[in-house]
Structure 1
Amino acid sequence: MSPARYDAIGRGYSGTRREDPALRAQLHAALGDARTVVNVGAGAGAYEPRDRHVVAIEPSDVMAAQRPRELAPAIRATADALPLRDASVDAGLSVLSLHHWDAGQERGVHELRRVARGPVVLLTFDRDVSGAMWLVADYVPEIAALDRRIFPPMDVLARWLGGDVRVEVVPISRDTPDWTLGAFWAHPERVLDPVARANTSGFARMPTPIVERAVAALERDLADGTWDDRHGDLRELDEFDAGMRMLVAEPG
């Protein structure tokens, strides 16, 4: 996990990356009756349970500084070396963080399994599904190439987790307040918003010329109606599968 990366990406993160109530409920339900939870890559605290004891792990000072005052401070540590004893918490949680663990991904997943007595819940993206979304496929294929390197396939994650693993599709609501890159599916105008772009790791990790090219192309296609001719039916949907997946692993 790279604290320097999120020190850059995370400025103003909480402005456009707010909790989606439906997603929060789904994540908390997956934690079952766990009373103690380690949240790895805890960031600004989105989706962190307020009614359980949470050990927040976050290496970035910028992200941790955006945590609400009612949440416990985050411990500065990385996923691949959790400062916890074996089976010391009831459950493990990681929300859209694993793709930033770099070379520590497999070790980080094993660490979550090591410290959690019960379920480990991972929210991530299926890179094959997300790569087919219009934004990535038509305008920024470089993000798909990056995602193929940084998002482990579902079967690999299941193998790392071990035990009984289920994978749940998590459709993204049109009105979600959590503006992940996938949440742009029905809102192409958001791509033109530099703040919205900067708060997605996909755009934030792209070189400036690539971002400028994509923005210019989409701005043109919105102005002349090309985007709506190709994808306007998306504006009629309430939700869309942009590749978000929740893995829930019970110990074997």
Structure 2
Amino acid sequence: MSGAQLYEVIGVAYPATRRTEPRIAAQVWAALGDARTVLNVGAGTGSYEPPDRQVTAVEPSAVMRAQRPAGTAPCVAASAENLPFADQSFDAAMAISTVHHWRDPIAGVHEMRRVAKRVVVFTHDDSDAGWLQRFWLTRDYLPEVANLVKERPSVHALADAFGARMEPVLIPWDCADGFFEAHWRRPQAYLEDHVRRAVSVWTTVGPEAEQRAVDNLRDDLTSGRWAERNRELIDLDAAELGLRLLVA
């Protein structure tokens, strides 16, 4: 499924747990610099759109567009690979947790560079050999995630495509945005169906892998095995799990 097709399926569940995390937003908005006009590509329901700038949103999924709250930025139905704007129409373009759904991420960031003077992309670094081991959920319960990234360009290829530098993005332990890694210190959250339904990974790996992961995690939480394996996390305020901000 392409990103738009996937969100036609899971998009209804998205607003329940997916929202702006203020500490990550501060890093994103700082990366936008002094941009006054901002294009948000793959905008979804509008999380992370800066409130003090003139924002235009692009979102291919009708389900997601329909759930944008009243008063949010005007939203255009279009894809990242074919942005319907003239060259250098915006001071900046941003893309938050979306490039992994694009048919052609390299073409998408080239388009962002074409229409904007500055480009900011929030994504995940899965390029090093040990990335699957960084997060206990993929390491111990859901190794199928490795299959989801095989055909994607690496984060370094993506950054090179528009001359970006990379910044690490730490995930606070009480992260308000329920993306895949957000509950790294709150493992019980992954037992909740509404939490999983708002994260594309769970739908993409398929129901058998999902059910096995949930059952095994529940058993390990009950027995104390999860706490024993992950005792070093208990006192951490924020975790480095490979999230990156690409800025050019």
Q: Counterpart of 1:190?
A: 189
| Counterpart amino acid of residue 47 in structure 1 | Y
Structure 1: 5+ residue runs without aligned partners? none
> Do the aligned partners of residues 130 and 173 (structure 1) sit closer, same or farther apart at CA in structure 2, a change above 3 Å counting?
farther
Whole-angstrom CA distance in 1 between matches of 2:19 and 2:73? 18
Whole-angstrom CA distance in 2 between matches of 1:187 and 1:144? 23
Report the Cα offset of residue 41 of structure 1. 0.2
Report the Cα offset of residue 232 of structure 1. 2.6
Whole-angstrom CA distance in 2 between matches of 1:98 and 1:234? 29
What pairs with 1:55-70 in structure 2 (closer than 5 Å)? Answer: 55-70=56-71
Residue 141 of structure 2 is aligned to residue 139 of structure 1: yes
Q: State the identity as a percent.
A: 44
| Counterpart amino acid of residue 153 in structure 1 | S
Deviations 1:194-217 (Å, cap 9, x if unpaired)?
110111111121210110111111
> What is the number of equivalent residue pairs in this alignment?
244
What pairs with 1:3-14 in structure 2 (closer than 5 Å)? Answer: 3-14=4-15
Cα contact 1:87–1:115 (8 A) shared by 2 = yes
Structure 2: 5+ residue runs without aligned partners? none
Q: Counterpart of 2:93?
A: 92
Whole-angstrom CA distance in 2 between matches of 1:223 and 1:189? 10
Whole-angstrom CA distance in 2 between matches of 1:147 and 1:234? 26
Residue 51 of structure 2 is aligned to residue 50 of structure 1: yes
Residue 115 of structure 2 is aligned to residue 108 of structure 1: no
| Counterpart amino acid of residue 185 in structure 2 | A
Identify the range of structure 1 (1-10 vs 184-193) with the bigger mean alpha-carbon deviation. Answer: 1-10
Q: Counterpart of 1:231?
A: 230
| Counterpart amino acid of residue 62 in structure 1 | V
Cα contact 2:93–2:112 (8 A) shared by 1 = yes
Cα contact 2:6–2:200 (8 A) shared by 1 = no
| Counterpart amino acid of residue 101 in structure 1 | W
Query: What stretches of structure 1 move > 3 A for 4+ residues in a row?
Result: none
SS of the residue 1:10 aligns to: helix
Whole-angstrom CA distance in 1 between matches of 2:38 and 2:79? 16
Q: Counterpart of 1:19?
A: 20
| Counterpart amino acid of residue 111 in structure 1 | E
SS of the residue 1:131 aligns to: helix
Name the structure with the higher helix share. 1
SS of the residue 2:144 aligns to: helix
TM, length-normalised to structure 1? 0.93
Cα contact 1:123–1:247 (8 A) shared by 2 = yes
> How well do the aligned residues superpose, as a CA RMSD in angstroms?
1.3
Whole-angstrom CA distance in 1 between matches of 2:131 and 2:74? 33
Cα contact 2:174–2:183 (8 A) shared by 1 = no
Q: Counterpart of 1:206?
A: 205
Report the Cα offset of residue 130 of structure 1. 5.0
Cα contact 1:93–1:121 (8 A) shared by 2 = yes
TM, length-normalised to structure 2? 0.94
Cα contact 2:169–2:240 (8 A) shared by 1 = yes
